[in-house]
């Protein structure tokens, strides 16, 4: 009798504690049945929701979000930049859209070198020569034409309204404009819009109106591509170039086309991952690293233990060495993707991995295969709708406020994406990435990217949508976010808040979000030979996860000021 009572008591206790634990786990987490958006900005997520509620699908909403980000997150959201989109439709079909910028036709391999062959790094970062031919507008229109259900004018309405009527700056929006003011003043078009007319600093609550941008958006909404790549907007871009010494021409704009590409697909722990192929390197590195973990990792891994961090770091180190050497625009260079992501190659690549010892990056080079030949300056958002369509979009001007050049009279900033090329193979770019021949500048070529929009599917259902900001850290952070779910059963909030690490081969240092790793773990990693650098934040990631019942959970990175909206 006594034993039966005790067993019953234990049963009730464990049932109650499981329930409490589950409640605690999901307590913070809002669930949505009909649709959800996670993005870097409240207005953008609200616009996406508005479109979903009007009956639009995830693609309609994504286009609305992208255009609003150009208004309310001018340092990264854009119409003067580019990006990548991964779409998984309710019927299970997956496709990707490459709307990455291209080098203008007049671009040359050595355009950023002086007569002594020295790299003039400012030129690829600031000013008109830094800008690639923008792809965002063509990308949004292509996506909407192929998969959207609402007219362009409807999905662009929130952006046009916010640009024309203005919006109140948040604390972080005001701070980001003030922080960039020295550079923005240097360009007349930027000064007119982003510097306050009385010369004082922006404050939280100031109304920020962008009339020229509203008109440009209106031209796009009413005339489509021609509203940007021809006519007045194109002339204003070319005038800006001619006035300030840039090289983009009407022909460059007229010829720009985004490209539909087959997704890069891999499998891990029961999930199918759909990722961006080159000219993004995100999918490539994630594919290699997941296979390296499966090949060289132990059966069980403990979250953020020294053993796990070491394994990730060693995989990242090897994969970035390959990324930097082999990858470039697939329309210009042959990339032996099949070989580089094949299991035999991966095993060989991890052949010198030691559990107790970090490999020095100087001892690692790109692998050989037989062939016939910080920050928050980017942005990512996700949309999922009640039909089961999912969209992941990673988009950027590259650096904060891109080239700092605003097209006078058209009210939008141009990117400085040319810095993502290897301007001088062997010399690091602004993210410390050392590129090679495959990513050298050529007219009309797309520069290699780290943006990593990703969708993961289990048992035929979308379970994860993610991507982020942070240059090469986008790849490592998006992957860790996925692994937090796939290996450690974390929910969206937990996965996104969890501390991150980053390694990119060169420079040879292991970045860790310092406050959150114990002294013991750091010590163990240093003993293995890692050069640890503690930093505040690694990347900004936004995600949506779906549970096995199809309920949607969105999470915006607590390291930033993102926003989740759903219904």
Binding site for ligand DON (CB under 6 A): 375-378, 396, 398, 417, 420, 449-451, 469-471, 474
Nearer to ligand DON by C-beta: 221 or 397?
A: 397
- 98 or 377: CB nearest ligand DON: 377
- The residue count of the chain comes to 567
Alpha carbon distance 138, 103 (integer Å): 16
**In the complex, minimum distance from the CB of residue 48 to ligand DON, in angstroms, rounded to a whole number:** 21
Task: Give the Cα separation of 329 and 164 in Å (integer).
Answer: 37
What is the b/e burial string over 180-209, where b = at least 16 CB atoms within 10 angstroms of the residue's CB?
Answer: bbebbeebebbeebbbeeeeeebeeebebe
> For ligand DON, which is the closer residue by CB, 40 or 51?
40
Q: Are 250 and 237 in contact (CB under 8 A)?
A: no
Instruction: Say which of 72, 378, 462, 478 is annotated catalytic.
Output: 378
- Burial (CB < 10 A; 0-12, 13-18, 19+), residue 109, is middle
In terms of phi and psi (left: phi > 0; alpha: psi -120 to 50; beta: otherwise), the region of 375 is left
Q: How far is the CB of 139 from ligand DON (least distance, A)?
A: 14
CA 120, 121, 126: angle at the middle one, nearest 5?
Answer: 110
Count Cβ neighbours within 10 Å for each residue of 393-432 and write b for 16 or more, e otherwise: bbbbbbbbbbbbbbbbbbbbbbbbbbbbbbbbbeebbbbe
Cα separation, 328 vs 324, whole angstroms? 9
Q: Of the two residues 56 and 470, which places its CB atom closer to ligand DON in the complex?
A: 470
Using CA atoms, how far apart are residues 151 and 423, in angstroms rounded to an integer? 41
CA angle 316, 317, 323 (to 5 degrees): 80
- 301 CB-near residues (< 8 Å, 6+ apart): 293, 307, 308, 311, 487
CA dihedral 552, 545, 62, 134 (to 10 degrees): 170
Q: How would you class 114 by CB atoms within 10 Å of its CB: exposed for 0-12, middle for 13-18, buried for 19 or more?
A: exposed
> Nearer to ligand DON by C-beta: 150 or 286?
286
What is the token pair recorded at 559?
């390291």
Please, what is the angle between helix 136-147 and helix 152-165, to 10°?
A: 140
CA distance 239 to 233: 10
For 143, the token pair is 């996506």
How far apart are CB 374 and ligand DON at their closest, in Å? 6
Question: Shortest approach of ligand DON to residue 151 CB, angstroms?
Answer: 30
For residue 490, the minimal CB distance to ligand DON (Å) is 24
Q: Shortest distance, CB of residue 399 to ligand DON, whole angstroms?
A: 6
Closest to ligand DON by CB, 54 vs 375, is 375
CB of 83 to ligand DON, least distance (A): 8
What is the DSSP annotation of 135-202? -HHHHHHHHHHHH--S-HHHHHHHHHHHHHH-EEPPHHHHHHHHHTHHHHHTSHHHHHHHS-TTSPPP
Cβ–Cβ < 8 Å for 465, 384: yes
Least distance in Å: CB of 99 to ligand DON?
12
Nearest approach, Cβ of residue 530 and ligand DON (Å):
24
Residue 272, class by beta-carbon neighbours within 10 Å (0-12 exposed, 13-18 middle, 19+ buried)?
Answer: middle
* DSSP assigned state of 422: -
**Nearest distance, CB of residue 280 and ligand DON, angstroms:** 7
Cβ atoms of residues 94 and 87 within 8 Å:
yes
Q: What is the C-alpha separation between 535 and 165, in angstroms, rounded?
A: 39
Active site residue 378: yes
Report phi then psi at 81, rounded to 5: -125, -140
- Active site members: 378
């Amino acid at each position: 009798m006594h034993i039966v009572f005790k067993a019953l008591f234990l049963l009730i206790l464990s049932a109650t504690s499981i329930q409490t634990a589950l409640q605690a786990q999901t307590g913070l987490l809002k669930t949505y049945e009909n649709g959800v958006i996670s993005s870097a900005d409240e207005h953008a997520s609200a616009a996406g929701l508005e479109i979903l509620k009007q009956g639009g699908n995830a693609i309609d909403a994504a286009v609305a979000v992208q255009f609003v980000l150009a208004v309310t997150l001018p340092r990264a959201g854009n119409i003067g930049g580019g990006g990548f989109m991964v779409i998984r439709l309710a019927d299970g079909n997956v496709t990707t859209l490459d709307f990455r910028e291209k080098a203008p036709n007049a671009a040359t391999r050595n355009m950023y070198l002086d007569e002594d062959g020295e790299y003039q790094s400012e030129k690829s970062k600031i000013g008109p020569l830094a800008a690639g031919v923008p792809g965002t507008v063509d990308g949004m229109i292509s996506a909407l034409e192929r998969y959207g259900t609402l007219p362009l004018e409807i999905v662009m309405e929130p952006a046009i309204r916010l640009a024309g009527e203005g919006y109140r700056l948040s604390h972080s929006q005001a701070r980001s404009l003030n922080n960039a003011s020295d550079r923005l003043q240097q360009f007349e078009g930027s000064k007119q819009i982003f510097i306050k007319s009385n010369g004082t600093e922006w404050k939280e609550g100031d109304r920020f109106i962008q009339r020229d941008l509203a008109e440009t958006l209106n031209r796009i909404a009413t005339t489509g591509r021609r509203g940007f790549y021809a006519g007045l907007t194109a002339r204003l871009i070319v005038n800006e170039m001619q006035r300030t010494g840039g090289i983009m021409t009407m022909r460059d704009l007229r010829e720009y086309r985004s490209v539909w590409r087959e997704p890069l697909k891999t499998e891990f722990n029961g999930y199918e991952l759909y990722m961006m192929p080159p000219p993004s390197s995100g999918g490539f590195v994630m594919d290699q690293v997941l296979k390296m973990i499966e090949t060289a990792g132990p059966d069980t891994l403990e979250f953020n233990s020294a053993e796990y961090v070491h394994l990730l770091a060693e995989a990242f180190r090897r994969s970035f060495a390959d990324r930097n050497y082999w990858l470039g625009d697939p329309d210009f260079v042959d990339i032996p993707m099949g070989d580089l992501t094949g299991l035999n190659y991966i095993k060989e690549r991890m052949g010198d991995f030691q559990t107790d010892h970090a490999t020095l990056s100087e001892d690692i080079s790109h692998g050989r295969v037989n062939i016939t030949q910080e920050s928050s300056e980017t942005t990512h958002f996700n949309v999922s709708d009640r039909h089961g369509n999912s969209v992941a979009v990673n988009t950027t001007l590259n650096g904060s406020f891109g080239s700092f050049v605003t097209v006078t009279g058209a009210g939008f900033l141009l990117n400085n994406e040319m810095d993502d090329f290897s301007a001088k193979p062997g010399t690091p770019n602004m993210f410390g990435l050392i590129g090679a021949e495959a990513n050298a500048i050529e007219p009309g070529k797309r520069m290699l990217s780290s943006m990593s929009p990703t969708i993961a599917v289990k048992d035929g259902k979308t379970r994860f949508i993610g991507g982020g900001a942070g240059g090469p850290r986008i790849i490592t952070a998006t992957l860790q976010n996925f692994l937090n779910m796939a290996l450690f059963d974390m929910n969206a909030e937990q996965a996104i808040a969890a501390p991150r690490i980053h390694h990119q081969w060169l420079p040879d240092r292991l970045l860790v979000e310092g406050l959150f790793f114990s002294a013991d773990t750091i010590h163990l990693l240093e003993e293995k030979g890692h050069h640890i650098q503690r930093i505040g934040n690694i990347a900004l990631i936004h995600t949506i996860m779906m549970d096995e019942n199809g309920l949607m959970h969105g999470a915006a990175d607590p390291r930033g000021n993102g926003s989740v909206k759903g219904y």
